[in-house]
Amino acid sequence: MAFGPGLMLAVFFLVPFGIMLLVSVAEAVKGGAYNLVFDGSHYARFFTPFFGRVLAFSILIALLTACICITVGFPFTYALTRFGHRTQVVWLVFILAVLSLSEVIIGFSWSILLSRTAGISNLLVWLGLMSEPVAWYPGLVALLCGLTYLGLPYTVLILYPPLSRLDPELPEAARMLGASPLRSFFTVVVPAMRPAIVATVIMLFVFTLGAYLLPQVLGRPQHWTLSVLITDQAIFQSNLPFAAAMAIFLMVVSLALVVVTSRLNRRAMGSP
Amino acid sequence: MAELSLEGIGKRFGAITAVTDVTLDIPSGDLVCLLGPSGCGKTTLLRLIAGLDAPSEGRILLDGEDITAVPAHQRNFGMVFQSLALFPHLSVADNISYGLRVRGVAAAARRKRAEALLELVRLPGIADRHVAQLSGGQRQRVAIARALALEPKIFLLDEPMSALDAKLREAMQVELSQLQRRLGITTVVVTHDQREAMTMADTIVVIGANRVQQVGAPLDIYRRPRNSFVADFIGSINLLPGVVSGPAEATVGDTQLRVLEVGDGVGEGDRALIAVRPEDVHLLSTDERRDNTLSGTVSYVRDLGSQVETHVDCGGETVVSVSAPKDRPAVAVADAVRVELPMAACRALAP
pLDDT band per the 50, 70, 90 thresholds, residue B62 = very high
Q: What is the pLDDT of residue B267?
A: 82
**Any domain includes B48:** yes
Optimal mutation site among A165, A175, A176, interface B, most CBs of chain B within 10 A = A176
Q: What is the pLDDT of residues B292-309, one digit of tens each?
A: 889 899 999 998 888 899
Is the pLDDT at A266 greater than 80? The verdict is no
pLDDT of residue A268: 65
Closest listed residue to residue B311, CA positions, set B236, B246, B243? B236
The answer for residues whose C-beta is within 8 angstroms of residue A161's C-beta and 6 or more apart is none
In a shared domain, residues B255 and B331 = yes
Q: Which of B82, B130, B147 sits opposite A271 (nearest CB)?
A: B130
Average pLDDT over residues B87-96: 94
Please report the pLDDT score of residue A271 as a whole number.
44
Query: What pLDDT score was predicted for residue A2?
Result: 63
pLDDT class of A272 with cuts at 50, 70, 90: very low
In a domain, B229, yes or no: no
Does B102 contact A177 at a Cβ distance shorter than 8 Å? yes
What pLDDT, on the 0 to 100 scale, is given for residue A132?
83
Same domain, B209 and B269: no
Residue B245 lies in a domain: yes
Cα distance from N-terminal residue to C-terminal residue, chain A? 31
Which of B199, B223, B247 is the last residue in one of the domains?
Answer: B223
Beta-carbon neighbour count of residue A103 at 10 Å?
15
| Of the residues B223, B255, B283, the one at which a domain ends | B223
Residues B170 and B287 in one domain: no
Under an 8 A CB cutoff, do A176 and B74 touch?
no
Write the single-letter amino acid at B97. Answer: S
Lowest mean pLDDT among A29-38, A87-96, A188-197: A29-38
Residue at B39 is within a domain: yes
Q: What is the distance between the alpha carbons of residues A154 and B298, in angstroms, rounded to a whole number?
A: 70
Count, residues in chain B: 351
Q: How far apart are CA A128 and CA A116, in angstroms?
A: 16
Residue that finishes a domain, picked among B196, B223, B250: B223
Q: How far apart are CA B101 and CA B110, in angstroms?
A: 7
Same domain, B200 and B56: yes
Q: What is the number of other CB atoms lying within 10 angstroms of the CB of residue B37?
A: 12
Whether B71 is in a domain gets the answer yes
Q: Is residue B158 part of a domain?
A: yes
Instruction: State the average pLDDT over residues B262-286.
Output: 87
Nearest chain A residue (CA) to B83 = A169
Residue range B260-276: mean pLDDT, rounded:
86
Q: Are residues B177 and B277 in the same domain?
A: no
Domain hosting B185: range is 4-223
On whether both B219 and B190 belong to a single domain, the answer is: yes
Interface contact A190, partner B, CB < 8 A? no
Q: Are residues B39 and B13 in the same domain?
A: yes
Distance of alpha carbon A233 from the chain centroid: 22
Question: What is the CATH classification number for the domain harbouring B78?
Answer: 3.40.50.300
Separation CA A117–CA A129 (nearest Å): 17
pLDDT in tens, A128-162: 888 888 888 788 889 999 999 999 999 999 999 99
Sheet holding B4-13, edge to edge: B16-26, B4-13, B57-62, B65-66
Q: Looking at the predicted structure, is the pLDDT value of residue A173 above 70?
A: yes
Residue B231 forms part of a structural domain: no
Note whether B196 and B247 are same-domain residues.
no
State whether B59 and B161 are in the same domain.
yes
User: Are the C-beta atoms of residues B3 and B63 closer than 8 Å to each other?
Assistant: yes
Q: Give me the number of domains chain B comprises.
A: 2
Asked if B130 is an interface residue toward chain A (Cβ–Cβ < 8 A), one would say yes
Would residue B228 count as lying in a domain?
Answer: no
Residues 6+ positions from A178 with CB-CB distance below 8 Å: B73, B74, B76, B99, B102, B103, B150
Say whether B99 and A170 touch across the interface (CB within 8 A). Answer: no
Residue B308 burial by CB count (10 A; 0-12/13-18/19+): exposed, middle or buried? buried
Q: Do B202 and B255 belong together in one domain?
A: no
- Co-location of B219 and B307 in the same domain: no
Calculate the alpha carbon distances from A194 to A60, B1, B88 in Å.
22, 40, 11
Q: What is the percent of chain B where pLDDT is above 90?
A: 59
pTM here is 0.82
Given a cut of 60, is residue A236 above it in pLDDT?
Answer: yes
Residue A1 has pLDDT above 70, yes or no: no
- Which residues of B are less than 8 Å from A268 in CB distance? none
Question: What is the β-pairing status of strands B203-208 and B211-216?
Answer: antiparallel
Among residues B48, B44, B41, B43, which one has the least CA distance to residue B4? B48
* The most confident of A71-80, A108-117, A235-244, B121-130, by mean pLDDT: A71-80
In this complex, is the C-beta atom of A84 within 8 Å of any C-beta atom belonging to chain B? no
Predicted ipTM of the assembly: 0.84
Question: Which A positions 122-181 lie with beta carbon below 8 A of chain B?
Answer: 167, 169-170, 172-181
Cα B245 from Cα B269, distance rounded (Å): 6
Mean pLDDT value across chain B: 91
Give yes or no: residues B279 and B307 share one domain.
Answer: yes
- Residue A265: pLDDT above 80? no
Burial of A155 (0-12, 13-18, 19+ CB in 10 A): buried
CATH code (residue B278): 2.40.50.100
CB atoms within 10 A of CB A61: 22
